[in-house]
Amino acid sequence: MQKITIAIDGYSSCGKSTLARALAHKLHYNYIDTGAMYRAVTLFAIRKGLISIDKPLEVDLLILKLDEIELHFELNAGNHHSDIFLNSENVESHIRSMEVSNCVSRVSAIKQVREKMVALQRQMGKGKAVVLDGRDIGSHVFPKAELKIFMTADADVRAKRRFDEYSSKGQYFDIEEVKHNLLKRDQEDLNRSESPLIKVEDAVVLDNSELTREEQLDFVLKLIADLHLISKEEHPQH
Ligand code: DC
């Protein structure tokens, strides 16, 4: 079967990573969690004292230090997930904290940060057979991706999912705070000047407010099957 690039964009906490991971597993594709990359850069900036929840980002200093950041993914044999490494340290368990979540939009809005991440993402995904999730994959990173999905879900459903995820890790927040954080990030992602979150014309919208994980996976597998059908009809000699 022809190897394709699958771009999954959408709002915060829509379950993009869950779907992307399931798809990659099913198709034996690589999975690139681009949000994890922006989170790892944010963690770096927090550790260097360049940003905090109450401190504005020291943009010029971060830009100067970008060359000190090396990121890569490694397959975790225990859970079959791809863990992100920041300068050889597995930071997977550090990048989902509320502190990183509160700072990441400010870091990901910086042009030089995005240029570095996009170059890395294109390098990692150049061989196709890849699923990437993020905000600008279909619009900017891989505009020629064969399949583009734009995910959305009701804000209360999203807040509850993120709240449950935090709780399962022993982190307890007010659900309204979780909702506030994700709506704020949506606004920042939609309104930034560098590669804002947009639904491109050729993306298929997937609202998963009332869909199970299996239903979402089936929906996308069907789209992939249809894609191959269309290309066969267009090129009947193949
Ligand atoms: O998907 P996530 O919530 O882990 O992403 C973290 C942040 O990174 C999110 O607030 C927006 C930003 N991001 C981005 O700007 N571009 C991407 N391709 C992926 C994430």
Please tell me the residue having the least CA distance from ligand 1 atom 18. 134
Task: Give the Cβ contact number of residue 80 at 10 Å.
Answer: 11
Cα-to-centroid distance, 59 and ligand 1 (Å): 18
User: Which superfamily does 5-220 belong to?
Assistant: P-loop containing nucleotide triphosphate hydrolases (3.40.50.300)
Neighbouring-strand partners of residue 207: 152
Please tell me the residue having the least CA distance from ligand 1 atom 11. 105
Looking at residue 238, its pLDDT comes to: 38
- H helix or E strand, kind and range, residue 171: none
Looking at residue 165, its pLDDT comes to: 87
Query: Which mean pLDDT values do the consecutive 10-residue runs of the chain (238 residues) have?
Result: 94 94 94 97 98 97 98 88 95 93 94 98 96 97 98 96 90 92 93 94 97 97 86 48
- Residue whose token pair is 């399931």: 22
Q: Cα Rg for the chain, rounded, in angstroms?
A: 18
| Any atom of ligand 1 within 6 Å of the Cβ of 10 | no
Cα-to-centroid distance, 34 and ligand 1 (Å): 7
Looking at residue 2, its pLDDT comes to: 86
